Structure 1
Amino acid sequence: MFSSKTKLDVEKDIEEINNELIKLKDNAPYDEEIVNLINEIIETGGKRIRPLITLLCYEMISNKKRDNTSFAAACAIEIIHNASLLIDDIFDKDIFRRKKKSFYLKFSTFSAISMSYSLSSLAFGLALKTKLLEIVEELTKATQNLAISLFLEQKFRNANTKMTQEEALLLIDRKTTTLFEAASVIGVLLNQATQEDREKMKDFGKYFGRAFQLRDDLLSITATEEEIGKTSVITDIKNRIQTYIVLVAMEQAAEEDKKKLEEYYIEKKELDVEKIRTLIKRSGAIKTVAKLVNEYIEKAMSILKSYPESTARNKLIEITRFLSLNL
């Protein structure tokens, strides 16, 4: 858990980010109806981890206070993230997002797709305000990866073949890690940092992003909806998505359990969702993947600790440590 001081500081940071997002909405170059829809998306909340990472990486490298330019870059990352969630919910047929009805169900699929385009254009407009082409390039790469991840996910979901663990990690990198890498790298690009800093922050984003997604996948197996605040806790199982933990379970499970998992995920036979969770838990995959999560966290923190001590660095370390698992 965060120390009480860090928790308070992070809450203040998130409030600042939310205030900046509200300002952007109010100044968005769209008519009132579109602005109201943007407001609907912003008000669904979120952890705001990605923009927070951008701001803290900027402060850690530069020793400068955040300014309008750093906020513009941070908000661009968060807006792209929200644009991608609108499409994800359509693909996954999720009913709720952050305890509220998914945007495409509340309005329409067309509205969700249209708003995803609108948010993306708003994000790139913000990136251009930084007057740093490299930041636009980082955001472009991340957006391309998000688009490719949807194609890959559907391809794997519809195929009657077993994914490899390497393919599952590739999908994580395209879908989740890419925005954490962009958030970290953009933070240092704002200070025109060295190539070494860029590479280190890209690695930090990769390790953080993998730990973040694998932790999320683990909690979808071990936790209840109430514990993690998600109403779609079993969506991945229902959609037969071969997550990394599922593939580890298939590898480690006893022969009979392995056969049942393959029947469900590969042959698409019907099986009770809770039964699938039980099979995964019984395989020992939870401890295996939790260990990998903690290894990624250690690598991410090692990179942070290579920088001089500062308030920003210490916050990043605590945020990273918060992902640790003891399962």
Structure 2
Amino acid sequence: MAREAKVAYLPFLAPIKRELEEVEKVILEKISLTYQPLAENVTQLIRGGGKRLRPALAILASKFHPADRGKVILLAASIEMLHTATLIHDDLIDNASSRRGLPTLNSMWPSAAVVLAGDHILAGAASLAARTGSPRVVRIIAETLQIICDGEIRQIFGAYGWPQDIKDYYYRIYAKTASLFAAATEAGGVLSKAPEGEIQALRKYGEYLGTAFQIVDDVLDFTGKEEEMGKPTGSDLRQGIVTLPVFYFMEDYNDSKLLLKALNARGEERGEAIATLVELIRNSQAIKLSLDKAREFVIRAKEALSIFPDNQYRRIMLELADFVIERKI
């Protein structure tokens, strides 16, 4: 039986918890699917866990200058709905059976219904962005969705191959994760009418933070506990995806036969190769090197905030950067 998950707000986000709860309400009100059984599953997915980091970033980024609270809530809800829609589509593409310990939509519903449910949520995100009254915010949301889709296409056609260019890896994680973090912080700055230099600093913070977040996510795919992660270790390898720990591991492990088996063999042989490779990488320097790289991006994220005053929201953003490195899930 799947565990019941719920949103887990981080303690240091307490100063904006009420706003995050308003975001949740806006999202749930925006889901207007009329086929009730599917609507219930979509609602369960939205309520089913996560930390709401992306809407939190939009809210925090708006705090350095006066901003219309209602418009910021709409932006934050739009960001989270876009994120949720991409997760629905990702799970379908990956044929994933669970996320955060809950069944995925594609494990319960036909593919056509899942695609349309994801599209419905994307349309809701666009509608909320439009209600902010900011053409720039709408453009940021639209362009970010294009980037996410392009990254997913690149990942599909780059899967199962070796050798790969590490530059392609960094583009993929920018497209997959960092672009939405950057959109959240940039758009939050836009709604606060911050000077352009500050808006760009906020965007850089989001981009660097998102890059670090995804690198840590890729590390946890080797080191995390399945019951906490809600998915088996080595999930990326099972999808034919090569991540930073693999790149670092292969710098010292000169024989690519095991990796090629993990990517391309079939049946039991492939499963054994993945299990062996996961164990080797978990106990190698590749994990430390990957985390060191994530820390470099966290440092750059913090440096981007140096132009802002030392207030509680800047301190929360600095603490959030530390959390990204320290998290276990």
Q: TM-score, normalised by structure 1?
A: 0.88
Partner residue in 1 for 2:263: 265
Structure 1 range deviating more: 69-78 or 278-287: 278-287
Partner residue in 1 for 2:7: none
Unaligned stretches of 5+ residues in structure 2: 1-9
Retained in 2: the 8 A contact 1:51–1:78? yes
Superposition pairs of residues 156-195 of structure 1, within 5 angstroms: 156-158=158-160, 160-195=161-196
Cα separation, partners in 2 of 1:24 and 1:323, compared to 1, 3 Å: same
Superposition pairs of residues 72-83 of structure 1, within 5 angstroms: 72-83=74-85
Partner residue in 2 for 1:225: 226
1:92 to 91, 94, 105: 94
Report the residue type matching 1:233 in the other structure. T
Report the residue type matching 1:84 in the other structure. T
Partner residue in 2 for 1:144: 146
Residue 230 of structure 1 deviates from its aligned partner by 2.0
Partner residue in 1 for 2:287: 286
Partner residue in 2 for 1:247: 247
1-structure distance, mates of 2:82, 2:34: 20
Give SS of 1:272's match.
Answer: helix
Partner residue in 1 for 2:129: 127
1:159-182 deviation digits (Å, cap 9, x = unpaired)? x44211111001101111110010
2:54 to 50, 55, 58: 50
Residue 41 of structure 1 deviates from its aligned partner by 3.0
Residue 149 of structure 1 deviates from its aligned partner by 1.5
Structure 1 range deviating more: 207-216 or 313-322: 313-322
1:42-65 deviation digits (Å, cap 9, x = unpaired)? 222321100010001001x2155x
1:184-218 deviation digits (Å, cap 9, x = unpaired)? 10110102222211211121111101100000110
Structure 1 range deviating more: 290-299 or 6-15: 6-15
2-structure distance, mates of 1:8, 1:136: 28
2-structure distance, mates of 1:39, 1:105: 16
Partner residue in 1 for 2:6: none
1-structure distance, mates of 2:101, 2:286: 29
1-structure distance, mates of 2:188, 2:78: 12
Residue 319 of structure 1 deviates from its aligned partner by 1.1
1-structure distance, mates of 2:41, 2:101: 18
Structure 1 range deviating more: 239-248 or 14-23: 14-23
Question: Is 2:210 the partner of 1:204?
Answer: no
1-structure distance, mates of 2:110, 2:313: 41
Question: Is 2:22 the partner of 1:19?
Answer: no
2-structure distance, mates of 1:123, 1:83: 9
Structure 1 range deviating more: 86-95 or 272-281: 272-281
Partner residue in 1 for 2:117: 115
Retained in 1: the 8 A contact 2:101–2:231? yes
Residue 273 of structure 1 deviates from its aligned partner by 2.4
Retained in 1: the 8 A contact 2:61–2:189? yes
Percentage identity across paired residues of the two chains:
22
Give SS of 1:138's match.
Answer: helix
Residue 266 of structure 1 deviates from its aligned partner by 6.5
Question: Is 2:87 the partner of 1:62?
Answer: no
1:278-300 deviation digits (Å, cap 9, x = unpaired)? 22234411111110111111111
Give SS of 2:325's match.
Answer: coil
Partner residue in 2 for 1:302: 303
Residue 7 of structure 1 deviates from its aligned partner by 5.5
Residue 248 of structure 1 deviates from its aligned partner by 1.7
Report the residue type matching 2:90 in the other structure. D
1:10-56 deviation digits (Å, cap 9, x = unpaired)? 6555434323323333xx4x536365454233222321100010001
Question: Is 2:4 the partner of 1:6?
Answer: no
Question: Is 2:34 the partner of 1:31?
Answer: yes
Unaligned stretches of 5+ residues in structure 1: none
1-structure distance, mates of 2:281, 2:233: 15
Residue 260 of structure 1 deviates from its aligned partner by 2.0
Q: TM-score, normalised by structure 2?
A: 0.88
2-structure distance, mates of 1:101, 1:232: 14
Report the residue type matching 1:265 in the other structure. L
